[in-house]
Structure 1
Amino acid sequence: MPKLSVKQAEQRLIKYALTYPEAVLEHPWGHDAAKVRGKMFATFGGEANPKGEFSLTVKLPVSSEMALTLLWVEKTGYG
């Protein structure tokens, strides 16, 4: 399978996020954010960071501890 560009990966994830019931896409702070009933559950970085990496922030109330064991996962700077 060919490697996706950052923009292609982001578009696929946004498309998936919008499959949730009542999900909408809004643009706070100039970035795309998926929300359900006004509550944000995912934000998308929009562009690759200086290392060419994709940025995605999600709320993981149940699985955050497990997710942090993955090499490419880190906590956000704000909590």
Structure 2
Amino acid sequence: MFQDSPIYDRLIAERGDVPTQVRREAERVSRELEFVMQPLRSMDRSHYGELPSSAPPAPQWQRAALPGPGQR
């Protein structure tokens, strides 16, 4: 992306390659989360049957009208 940019090269030299570090850390956390969630997923399927295919819909909040003048 910015590999041929002298400004980008200078920033990497001063601060390190932050986007690459963040990407690696996100991938590591994702792998750890997958590892931790595996026992829960297999337990849910074996003890409770198949997991639901989708989550229930989120509650829908409705804005109630405020009473007008003289209404209460």
Please indicate the TM-score interval, normalised by the length of the shorter structure.
Answer: under 0.3
Give the structure with the larger strand fraction: 1
Bigger share in helix: 2
Q: TM-score, normalised by structure 2?
A: 0.25
* TM-score normalized with structure 1 length: 0.23
Greater Rg by CA: 2
More relative contact order in 1 or in 2 (CA 8 Å, sep 6+)? 1
